[in-house]
Amino acid sequence: MKTFLIGVMLLCFTSSPSACEFDNVTFDNKFSTARLTACKELASDRYLLIIKPENTPINDSAWYSFKVSSKAQSVINVTLKYTDGNQRYLPKISSDGESWEYIPFKKNRRHENKISFDLKVDKTSVWVAGQEIINNEHYISWNEELVQKTAFKLAVLGKSEEGRNIYQLHSSSQSNEWLVIVGRMHPPEITGALALFPFVGEFSINQELPNKFRERFNVLVIPNLNPDGVEKGNWRHNANGVDLNRDWVTLKQRETQLVHNKLQEIEARGGKIIFAIDFHSTRGNVFYTMPTDYGVFPPLLVNNWLKELDRLSKNFNVVIKPGNNPDKGVFKQYIADNYKVQAVTYEMGDNENRKIITSIAKLAAQTLMTELLKTKKEQFLGDN
Ligand SMILES: [Zn+2]
3-state helix, strand, coil in the chain (%, to 5): 35, 25, 40
Structural domain boundaries in the chain: 16-129, 136-380
For residue 191, the number of C-alpha atoms closer than 13 Å in the C-beta half-sphere is 23
What confidence score (pLDDT) does residue 259 get?
99
Distance 327 CA to ligand 1 centre (A): 17
pLDDT, position 341: 98
Q: Is the pLDDT of residue 13 over 70?
A: no
What is the CA(61)–ligand 1 centre distance, in A?
Answer: 10
Domain covering 136-380 assigned CATH 3.40.630.10 in the classification: yes
Residues 313 and 144: their CA atoms lie apart, in Å, by: 31
With respect to CATH, is domain 16-129 assigned 2.60.40.3120?
A: yes
Q: How far apart are CA 99 and CA 380, in angstroms?
A: 43
Q: How large is the angle between the packed helices 208-216 and 190-204, nearest 10 degrees?
A: 90
What's the CA gap between 351 and 24, in Å, rounded? Answer: 33
Cα–ligand 1 centroid distance for 326 (angstroms): 18
Q: What is the pLDDT of residues 39-76, one digit of tens each?
A: 999 999 999 999 999 999 999 999 999 999 999 999 99
- Reported as a pLDDT band with limits 50, 70 and 90, residue 384 is low
Share of the chain above pLDDT 90, in %: 93
For residue 9, is pLDDT > 50? no
pLDDT on residue 18: 53
Q: How far away, in angstroms, is 56 Cα from ligand 1 center?
A: 17
Task: Determine the distance separating the centroid of ligand 1 and the alpha carbon of 185, expressed in angstroms.
Answer: 6
Judge residue 321's burial from the number of C-beta atoms within 10 Å of its C-beta, 0-12 exposed, 13-18 middle, 19 or more buried. exposed
CA of 11 to the centre of ligand 1 (A): 37
Q: What's the pLDDT tens digit per position in 135-179?
A: 999 999 999 999 999 999 999 999 999 999 999 999 999 899 999
State residue 16's pLDDT score: 46
| ipTM here | 1.00
The CA 330 to ligand 1 mean position distance, Å, reads: 10
Average pLDDT score, the chain: 95
pLDDT score of 78 more than 50: yes
Sheet arrangement for strand 65-70 = 25-28, 65-70, 126-129, 92-94, 101-102
Q: What is the mean pLDDT of residues 16-21?
A: 68
pLDDT at 10: 41
